[in-house]
Amino acid sequence: MKLGIIGAMEIEIELLRDDLELQNTLHKAGMDFYQGILHDKEVVLVRSGIGKVNAAICTQILIDQLNVDQIIFTGVAGAIDTTLEVKDIVISTDLVQHDMDASAFGHREVGEIPELDKVSFAADKNLISLAEDIGEEVTKQEDIQVVTGRILSGDQFIANKNKVKELKETFGGFCTEMEGAAVGQVAYLNDTPFVIIRSISDSADEEADISFDEFVKVAASHSYQIVTRMLDRL
C-alpha cells in the first residue's frame, strides 16, 4: 500500500518530511512530491499550495502518476461551530464546497456540483475511525476535543462572524478551510479512499489573522502526531 499525504502549507508537512527516508522527488505542476518511507510505510508527501485548484491538481497527480492507494490531507482550519476551540481536531465525515453556487439554475442546491449532482463527498469510514481513535490518544492528556463531522472548503480565508453564521446555517459542519472538498471530489471520481484531518487554528472571525499565526505551529504538531500513528497501524 502506498499512502499520499498532503498539506497545503510548508509548516503542515515539514515535521513529516524531517522523518521521511527520501528515495525520490518528482517535481510536477510547481509541486515537489517526496517519495520514500515513513514509519515503515511507502508514502508520497507533498505541499499542494493553498486553494482548491492546487489541491485538485495535486490529488490527481498522486493518483495518476504516483499510484497512491489512499490519501490523507492534514493541516489547519477555522472553526465555524461554536463548541470548538483552538487546538481542537476535526476528522472529516464529508466535505462541501461552500463557494460552489449554481442555484440560479433553479433546481440545484448551494454547494451542489453540476453534472455530478452531489453536494458532499464522503471520506473513507475506516480512515475516519482510525484517525478519530488516534486523535483521542494524542490529546488525552490535554483539554482538546476530537470530533468527526462535515468540513467546508472554499477559496476564501474566512475572517468574518457574519460569514461564519451564514456558512453554519447553510451547510452545518464544524470548520472551514480551502482545500479538503477538492481533494474529496477528485478522490471520489477516482474511487480512492481519503480522509481530511484539521486542527483548529482560529475561530474564522475578525481575530482569525491574529490567532492563526499564534497557534498554527501547535495545530500542525497535533496533525503530525496523528498521521504518524496512523501509519503505524495501516
Q: What is the chain's pLDDT, residue by residue, as a tens digit (234 residues)?
A: 999 999 998 988 999 999 999 999 999 999 999 999 999 999 999 999 999 999 999 999 999 999 999 999 998 888 999 899 888 999 999 999 999 988 887 788 898 998 898 999 999 999 999 999 999 999 988 889 999 999 999 999 888 888 888 999 999 999 999 999 999 999 999 999 999 999 887 665 555 555 566 677 777 788 889 999 999 999
Identify whether 65 is part of a domain.
Answer: yes
For the annotated catalytic residues, the residue numbers are 12, 202
State residue 200's pLDDT score. 87
Identify whether 62 is part of a domain.
Answer: yes
State residue 221's pLDDT score. 81
Contact 26, 33 (CB under 8 A): yes
Identify whether 77 is part of a domain.
Answer: yes
Q: What single DSSP character describes residue 205?
A: S
DSSP 4-42: EEEESSHHHHHHHHHH-EEEEEEEETTEEEEEEEETTEE
State residue 194's pLDDT score. 98
Beta strands in 105-181 (DSSP E): 120-122, 146-153, 175-177
Give the count of beta carbons closer than 10 Å to the beta carbon of residue 141.
Answer: 7
CA separation for the pair 95, 202 (Å, rounded): 19
What residues contact residue 89 under an 8 Å CB cut-off, 6+ apart?
135, 139, 144, 145, 146, 147, 197, 198, 199, 200, 222, 223, 226
Identify whether 35 is part of a domain.
Answer: yes
Identify whether 230 is part of a domain.
Answer: no
State residue 119's pLDDT score. 94
Identify whether 208 is part of a domain.
Answer: yes
Identify whether 228 is part of a domain.
Answer: no
Spell 152-189 as b/e; 16+ CB within 10 A means b.
bbbeebbbeeebbeebbeebebbbbbbbbbbbbbbbbe
Comparing CA positions, the residue from 96, 135, 167, 143 lying closest to residue 233 is 135
Number of structural domains the chain divides into:
1
State residue 206's pLDDT score. 53
State residue 212's pLDDT score. 61
Identify whether 120 is part of a domain.
Answer: yes
State residue 73's pLDDT score. 97
CA triple 216-220-225, angle to 5 deg: 155
- Provide the residue range defining the domain that includes 193: 2-220
State residue 179's pLDDT score. 97
Report the CATH number at residue 199: 3.40.50.1580
